[in-house]
Amino acid sequence: MKYLIVIALLFTFPILSSAQRNGNERFQEIEAYKVTYLTGKLELSSEEAKIFWPLYNAWQTEQRDLRKERMQKMISFRKITEIEELSDSEVQNLILNDFNIKQRELNLDKKYYYKLKSSLPIKIVGKFYRAQEAFKKEILAKYRPQGRQ
């Protein structure tokens, strides 16, 4: 029986690592496209680009870290089979933790808005926010399964 499990794992591991690699490749592809997209939409001068891209990259890093934390908390929440099995204070803590993450995301957005605003013309900041929203819509349309609208 142990041998069957080991053999099954040996066959499963390449499939799982391939799926993870494909997900990472897709993420890298989207990020590269996003940089190209933003570059085209923002039309930054070389001086503006020297200011914008380091701020943007720092923002993305902080957002990624916050998303990882949120995912970890969501995973632990999903492991709970029944809310009924939790105490009222545990349920309340789960909900408040979600509010806390959302507030931290908002604070992060505000922090970088003020950094961008103080370093670049407000019209460029406005173009950036508009370009981000347009990019999200484009990517969702591109990767949405066919037949779903």
- pLDDT tens, residue by residue, 105-121: 999 999 999 999 999 99
Quickly tell me which residue has 């943007």 as its tokens.
56
pLDDT-derived band at 146 (thresholds 50, 70, 90) equals: low
pLDDT top residue among 146 and 145: 145
pLDDT score recorded for residue 97: 87
In a domain, 120, yes or no: yes
In a domain, 24, yes or no: no
Residue 75: give the domain boundaries: 45-143
In a domain, 132, yes or no: yes
pLDDT score recorded for residue 4: 38
In a domain, 79, yes or no: yes
Would you state the torsion angle of the CA atoms of residues 65, 66, 71, 72, taken in this order, to the nearest 10 degrees? 80
First to last CA, the chain: 47
In a domain, 12, yes or no: no
pLDDT score recorded for residue 19: 47
In a domain, 7, yes or no: no
Contacts 24+ apart (CB under 8 A), 71-80: 73/97, 73/98, 73/101
In a domain, 2, yes or no: no
For residue 42, how many C-alpha atoms fall within 13 Å in the half-sphere facing its CB? 27
pLDDT score recorded for residue 79: 67
Q: How many domains does the chain have?
A: 1
Q: What is the pLDDT of residues 42-86, one digit of tens each?
A: 999 999 999 999 999 999 999 999 999 888 877 666 667 677 778
- Across residues 131-136, what is the average pLDDT? 94
- Centroid of chain to Cα 96: 21
In a domain, 14, yes or no: no
CA gap 114, 24 in Å, rounded: 31
